[in-house]
Structures are given as structure tokens and as C-alpha cells.
């Protein structure tokens, strides 16, 4: 009953303006930027100023009550009340500050306030506290009671590609998690439940949003992935080893009116007893020494090195339906002896694997990142001890770098089938059709450029390039030579000239979507791209270019085939149809 009624709390939060866009507007750009840097002080000061101003104004209005009662009043909530309510909600749910019960009740409304208390989102203090934070004793006269929020309730403005339009306001989501280092200067507890961070947002953007029957969120944490999967899945299974995480996911589901998520306790894939159509995971991938260094359930896998993600990725194909897909994040180690990654771990012959390496850190930089994430003060004894432990742990395996990346898998619909009709790849995948060649490939690429603008979502772009790689896995030189290509409409060519020179010293091609990659072109490839408008096969273009450049057409064709392969894998060139051999 409480979970059904909790949508009233979310509705009141939304109507009060407690959303990402409205909060940015409320406290302004510089303060919003400070929050991104994990500095809450300016926003807290701003909210305190708003509340103090509202209190002063209330006192003034009380003193002039006789006069104001005779004045005409406009219906609805006054602007200062709106700001006061928004500041109250931010102080409670964003910054873990106590506010008076009266102020909180006014901000939420009586019904929503009572539901928030009953569900554990708010905790009341019957005796109250003084301004200095000390509790008022039984015989002491002081302020009315106060309330606090034991959990953070964070608004999330949904990105492009996520289904919406189910009800008013559903472009916004509310996530319940623990209050973190934004407002807590101490080392976090081991069972801390992380809210939506950078990794979680990345997985949201990578996930395909086709309608599926059953999906799974492995290591659900605060439940963000499961809540979004619920919008395009008949059923969602959310697993986590942390009972606390599952409880908070349940609260988030109640707030957002989601009722098709099944919560299962257990480690990673263990609770998953049936195959699924779509599996996503932001697992506890942080590589932490198995020593006295503090471990956190939300980020540490409890295994040596990258063994947790290795075992997870290896086992995923067995949990996918034929045609099923998975999208995961992870860290993996590169040693002086082994330069293999997830593409080599997944040995299932019917599953394609694309591992995209987005960042690589040396062991010391990696240690700094995660020691700081745990809230350990820099230069403290704990900081020094943790640093030494991390360095020594990496040294035992001769680790030279740690990679953060994405791992996308697709299990073949029909293991023995090969569908090389490339005439539909560009059209269908760009339109969101999930059909693709069953050709299996396993590859790893490093793409560290900044993500570009993706109007259909990054997940759709990756789905397209995945389909293109499936085709290239079986397309021989003759087939590519007889294929017609068109360039992606987002491309921009740059020609760089030395002063006084008519010929360019370099030619580059820049993507406007995907990962915003930049490609170096020679004269022949630049010529090919310039005429790739869907009218000529590669062979026909090579013959024309060879005459223009006065080179051997066969050698130029071989060169272009290799170069075009690279541009196709990046989504810069798209096959239109199968060319006809002359």
C-alpha cells in the first residue's frame, strides 16, 4: 500500500520543481558547476539564504497582518513560497540537512509528508533541536520538531533514447540512495549504496531501448538501470548481493510507480535462473587490494585483480536467449605479459564481443582515483597506507595499466546462419531495427575521444557499428569492392595548408556523432569519401581515382578496401547495398 501511495511523494516533488533542470536554474550555473565538482557548500548556502529570507518575510507579514488581509490576493502559490519549498526539499533530500517539521510539511503537503515518514524517506524528531544542532531535553523549551531524510532522493532528467510519455512528468526519475561524499567528509561505510554517478549515466546511454520480454540488471545498486529497463521490458530482474541496495531499489520503484521489477538477492548472475533478452551491468569492477584496505560493496568485487569482471563476462552468454544482447561496464588489467581483454575471455562461439576501451590509467593514478572516492583524506596515514597497498598489489601481477571500458555482446539468433545482405544494414540499424548479421566477431578497440552529439542516443550508434562489424566479419575483398557506400551525413572534412602552399599538408575527417573520432586521410581516401554518395561501387570509384592520380587501379583498390573497412567499423561509411560485379 505504501509503495502505491509513494507516487504522491514523487508527484509533489515534481510539482515543487525538484528536478535537475529546475534546480540548475534555481541556484545558477556557477553553483551547479560546483556540485559537479562535488562541492555542495555554495548550494547549501544558497538554500539557507532562501529559507532565512522566507522566515524573515513571514515574520514581517505577521506584523502587518491587518493591512495585508485587506489586500487582494492572487490565487496559487506565491513565488517566494515556491522557492522556499524547493530550498526545503533540496536541503532534506540532496544535502542531508534537518528542517522544521512545519516547513517540510508545507513543502510536501500533508498526505505526501505522512507517506514519506511511513515509508522511511523522512524521520521525525519529536523533541527537536537547537540552532547549534544539540537535541532539546525534555524540560527545555525550544524549537518545534524537526525532520531529516536518511536517504538521498535525487532527481534525474532522462537522456535521449529512453522511452517516455507514459504519464505527465515521467521525463524525470527519482532515485533513492545513501547520502555520499557530496555532504559527508568521513570515510564511507562498506554497505554504502551509491546514487547515480558517471558510470551509471554512461550505462544508461549505452543500453539499447528496443522492446523486450525479459531483461536483467546485474548488481542493481540504487536501481537506475532496472527502473529504465522497466520502460521497455515486460519483466525486469534486478540482482544485488546487498539487501540494502535491493531495499532502496524497491523504494525508488515505489516512488516512480514501477511494478514490473523482481528483486533477487545474490551475487552477480547467481540469482538469474532463466535466460534473458537484454542484460546490463555496472558491476563492482574496482580493483582493490585484498588487504586491510576498506572494501565497498557498491564498487569492489571482493576478488583479486579483474577476476570478477572476467568471470562475469565469461558467463553472460549462457544467460542470454538466442538473439539476446548485453551491455556492461568494467575495469581490466593490462600486464607486461598479457595484452588481452574481454574479447579473449568470452569463448562462446555464437557470441560476438565488442570491447571499447575508453580510458587507461597507470597503477598510481588508478589508486588515487579510488582512494579519493572512498573519502580518505589526502596525505593522511590512511591515504599513505592505502596507496602502498595498491601499488604492491599491482606489482604482484606486473600490471602496467588499468582500463575502463564498455563490453557489448550479442548472441547469434541462429548459430549456424550467415546473413550477408548488407543492403539493409545502414537503413535498418539507423532506424532502430535490431536485426543484424549473425556473423560472429570478437574485437577490442581503444577510443578515448570525447563523446559527440548523438541525437538518437549513443546506444543506437553502437548498435549500428556492431551490425557493421558483423557484416565485415564475413565480407571478403571481392564483396567489399562490389559494394556501394555512402558517407555518414555528420562528417566534416578539414584540409590544412602550409602558408603559400596550394596542396594540403594534411586532410582529416571528423565525426559529429558517436565518439567524435578524427581520421587522417590520404588523397585517395579523401577522394573516395567525397564521392561516396550511394551511386558507385568501391571498384568503380577506385578505377576513376586511379586514372586521376595516375596510379595502378588494382593496387589502389586493395588500399581502399583496407581503409574503407576502418571507416565502416567506426560508422563513418555505410554500405548501401551489394554491388554488382562487372
* Residue-wise DSSP of 415-444: TT-----GGGHHHHHHTT---------EEE
Query: Does 209 lie in the same domain as 96?
Result: no
In a domain, 417, yes or no: no
Domain with 506, as residue range(s), is 468-577
Residue 420 has pLDDT above 80, yes or no: no
Using 50, 70 and 90 to split pLDDT, how confident is the model at 29? Answer: very high
In a domain, 376, yes or no: yes
Q: What is the CATH number of the domain that holds 521?
A: 3.90.930.60
**Chosen domain end from 372, 389, 411:** 411
Query: Does 474 lie in the same domain as 396?
Result: no
Query: Does 179 lie in the same domain as 125?
Result: no
Query: Does 120 lie in the same domain as 174?
Result: no
Query: How many Cβ atoms from other residues are within 10 Å of residue 566's Cβ?
Result: 13
Specify the range with the lowest mean pLDDT, choosing from 94-98, 137-141, 208-212: 137-141
User: What is the number of H-type helices and E-type strands within the chain?
Assistant: 22, 19
Give tens-digit pLDDT for 339-348. Answer: 789 999 999 9
Q: Estimate to the nearest angstrom the gap between the alpha carbon of 164 and the chain centroid.
A: 17
In angstroms, rounded to a whole number, what is the distance separating the alpha carbons of residues 437 and 539? 24
Rama region for 165: left / alpha / beta (φ>0; ψ in -120 to 50; rest): left
Query: Does 169 lie in the same domain as 113?
Result: no
In a domain, 73, yes or no: no
Query: Does 524 lie in the same domain as 407?
Result: no
Query: Does 394 lie in the same domain as 343?
Result: yes
Using 50, 70 and 90 to split pLDDT, how confident is the model at 427? Answer: very low
Which candidate, 64, 106, 111, places its Cα nearest to that of 81? 106
Give tens-digit pLDDT for 442-481. Answer: 999 999 999 998 888 899 999 999 999 999 999 999 999 9
Could you give the 3-state DSSP secondary structure of residue 486?
Answer: strand
Query: Does 321 lie in the same domain as 274?
Result: yes
Q: Which three cell numbers stand for residue 27?
A: 541556484
Task: Using alpha carbons, list the distances in angstroms from residue 349 to 186, 355, 412, 416.
Answer: 48, 16, 9, 10
**Chosen domain end from 411, 431, 458:** 411
Query: Does 529 lie in the same domain as 566?
Result: yes
**Chosen domain end from 396, 411, 426:** 411
Specify the range with the lowest mean pLDDT, choosing from 109-113, 164-168, 558-562: 164-168
**Per the structure, how many domains does the chain have?**
3
Per DSSP bridges, beta strands 152-157 and 172-177 are: antiparallel
Q: What is the pLDDT, as a whole number, of residue 257?
A: 93
Residue 416 has pLDDT above 80, yes or no: no
Q: What is the CATH number of the domain that holds 334?
A: 3.40.50.150
In a domain, 426, yes or no: no
Please state the rounded mean pLDDT for residues 139-144.
Answer: 42
Please state the rounded mean pLDDT for residues 116-127.
Answer: 87
The better pLDDT of the pair 333, 168 is held by 333
Global pTM?
A: 0.85
The better pLDDT of the pair 436, 268 is held by 268
Query: Does 182 lie in the same domain as 33?
Result: no
Q: Are residues 237 and 280 in contact, defined by beta-carbon separation less than 8 angstroms?
A: no
Please state the rounded mean pLDDT for residues 227-241.
Answer: 96
Kindly report the length of the chain. Answer: 582
Query: Does 305 lie in the same domain as 190?
Result: yes
Amino acid at each position: 500500500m505504501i509503495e502505491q501511495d509513494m507516487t504522491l511523494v514523487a508527484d509533489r516533488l515534481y510539482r515543487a520543481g525538484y528536478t535537475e533542470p529546475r534546480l540548475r536554474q534555481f541556484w545558477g550555473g556557477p553553483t551547479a558547476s560546483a556540485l559537479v565538482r562535488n562541492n555542495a557548500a555554495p548550494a547549501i548556502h544558497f538554500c539557507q539564504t532562501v529559507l532565512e529570507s522566507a522566515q524573515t518575510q513571514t515574520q514581517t507579514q505577521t506584523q502587518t497582518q491587518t493591512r495585508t488581509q485587506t489586500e487582494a490576493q492572487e490565487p496559487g502559490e506565491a513565488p517566494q513560497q515556491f522557492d522556499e519549498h524547493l530550498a526545503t526539499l533540496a536541503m532534506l533530500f540532496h544535502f542531508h540537512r534537518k528542517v522544521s517539521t512545519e516547513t517540510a510539511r508545507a513543502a510536501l503537503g500533508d498526505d505526501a509528508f505522512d507517506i514519506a515518514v511511513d515509508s522511511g524517506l523522512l524521520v521525525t524528531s519529536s523533541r527537536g533541536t537547537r540552532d547549534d544542532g544539540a537535541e532539546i531535553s525534555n524540560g527545555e523549551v525550544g524549537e518545534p520538531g524537526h525532520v531529516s531524510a536518511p536517504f538521498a532522493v535525487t532527481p534525474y532528467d532522462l537522456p535521449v533514447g529512453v522511452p517516455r510519455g507514459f504519464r505527465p512528468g515521467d521525463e524525470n526519475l527519482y532515485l533513492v540512495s545513501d547520502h555520499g561524499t557530496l555532504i559527508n567528509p568521513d570515510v564511507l561505510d562498506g554497505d554504502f549504496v551509491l546514487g547515480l554517478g558517471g558510470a551509471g549515466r554512461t550505462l544508461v546511454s549505452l543500453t539499447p531501448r528496443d522492446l523486450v520480454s525479459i531483461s536483467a540488471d546485474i548488481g542493481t545498486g540504487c536501481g537506475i538501470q532496472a527502473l529504465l529497463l522497466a520502460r521497455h521490458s515486460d519483466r525486469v530482474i534486478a540482482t544485488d548481493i546487498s539487501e540494502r541496495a535491493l531495499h532502496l531499489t524497491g523504494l525508488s520503484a515505489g516512488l516512480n510507480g514501477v511494478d514490473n521489477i523482481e528483486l533477487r538477492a545474490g551475487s552477480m548472475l547467481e540469482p538469474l535462473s532463466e535466460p534473458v533478452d537484454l542484460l546490463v551491468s555496472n558491476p563492482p569492477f574496482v580493483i582493490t587490494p585484498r588487504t586491510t584496505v576498506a572494501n565497498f560493496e557498491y564498487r569492489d568485487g571482493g576478488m583479486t585483480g579483474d577476476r570478477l569482471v572476467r568471470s562475469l563476462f565469461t558467463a553472460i552468454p549462457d544467460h542470454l536467449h538466442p538473439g539476446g544482447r548485453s551491455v556492461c561496464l568494467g575495469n581490466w588489467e593490462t600486464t607486461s605479459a598479457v595484452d588481452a581483454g574481454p574479447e579473449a575471455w568470452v569463448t562462446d562461439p555464437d557470441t560476438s564481443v565488442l570491447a571499447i576501451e575508453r580510458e587507461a590509467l597507470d597503477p598510481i593514478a588508478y589508486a588515487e582515483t579510488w582512494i579519493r572516492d572512498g573519502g580518505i583524506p589526502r596525505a593522511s596515514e590512511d591515504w599513505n597506507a592505502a596507496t602502498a597497498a595498491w601499488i604492491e598489489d599491482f606489482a604482484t601481477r606486473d600490471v602496467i595499466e588499468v582500463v575502463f571500458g564498455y563490453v557489448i555482446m550479442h548472441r547469434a539468433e541462429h548459430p549456424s546462419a550467415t546473413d550477408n545482405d548488407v543492403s539493409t544494414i545502414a537503413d535498418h540499424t539507423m532506424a532502430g531495427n535490431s536485426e543484424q548479421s549473425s556473423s560472429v566477431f570478437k574485437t577490442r578497440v581503444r577510443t578515448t575521444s570525447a563523446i559527440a552529439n548523438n541525437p538518437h542516443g549513443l546506444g543506437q550508434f553502437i548498435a549500428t557499428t556492431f551490425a557493421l562489424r558483423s557484416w565485415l566479419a564475413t565480407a571478403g575483398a571481392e564483396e567489399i569492392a562490389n559494394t556501394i557506400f555512402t558517407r555518414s551525413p555528420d562528417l566534416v572534412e578539414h584540409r590544412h595548408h602550409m602558408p603559400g602552399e596550394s596542396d594540403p599538408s594534411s586532410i582529416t575527417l571528423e565525426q559529429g556523432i558517436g565518439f567524435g573520432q578524427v581520421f587522417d586521410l590520404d588523397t585517395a581516401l579523401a577522394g573516395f569519401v567525397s564521392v561516396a554518395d550511394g551511386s558507385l561501387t568501391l571498384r568503380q570509384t577506385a578505377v576513376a581515382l586511379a586514372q586521376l592520380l595516375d596510379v595502378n587501379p588494382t593496387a589502389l583498390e586493395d588500399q581502399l578496401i583496407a581503409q574503407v573497412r576502418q571507416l565502416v567499423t567506426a560508422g563513418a561509411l555505410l554500405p548501401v547495398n551489394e554491388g554488382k560485379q562487372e
